[in-house]
Structure 1
C-alpha cells in the first residue's frame, strides 16, 4: 500500500529534469528572438531619424518654392512617339541624412 501512495504523490508535480528541459527550451527561443528584436528597434530608430530629416528638407523646399527662386535653370525635353514636350524650370537640391539627396524640379509657370 505504501508504494501506491508514494507513486501518486510523486506524479502530482514536475520533476527537476522536466523543469530544466523547459528552461533550456525557453532560453533557446529567447536567444533566437532577441537579436531580431534588437535589429528591428535599431532600424526603427534609423527610420525615425530619416523621417525627421526629410521633414526638415520638405519645409526648406517649400520655403524656396514659394518665397524665392534660387535654383539652377534647366530645359527638359521629353520625346514621345508622336510629339516632343519641352519643359523649363529650376532644379533645387537639398542634402540630408548621410549623403542622401532630394532633387526637386520646379516648372516655370
Structure 2
C-alpha cells in the first residue's frame, strides 16, 4: 500500500501551460476581419451628404422679402395722417379778430 506522501508524489505532475500560452498568443495575434472596426465607408458617405446641395429643401425667401418690402413701401391711404385741414382751421381761429374765444 502507498502512503499519502507516496500517493501525492505519484499523482503530481509538473504544470505545463505552454500549449495554453501558444493558443492565447495565436488568438491575440489573429486579426478577425469581421471584428475589425473600419468606418472609412461611413465617413465617405457622411462627407458626400454634407457636401451635397439639397435642392428639395433649400429655403428661398426672396419672394416673401419682395412682398414685404412692397408692403412696407406702399402708402396706405386709409391710415395716412393728414392734418392740413386741421392746420387751416387752427390758423383761421388764431387769426380771428375776436380773441375772446381763444
Larger proportion of strand: 1
Higher relative contact order (CA 8 A, sep 6+): 1
Does the pair score TM above 0.5?
A: no
TM-score by length of 1: 0.37
Specify the structure having the higher radius of gyration (Cα): 2
TM-score by length of 2: 0.39
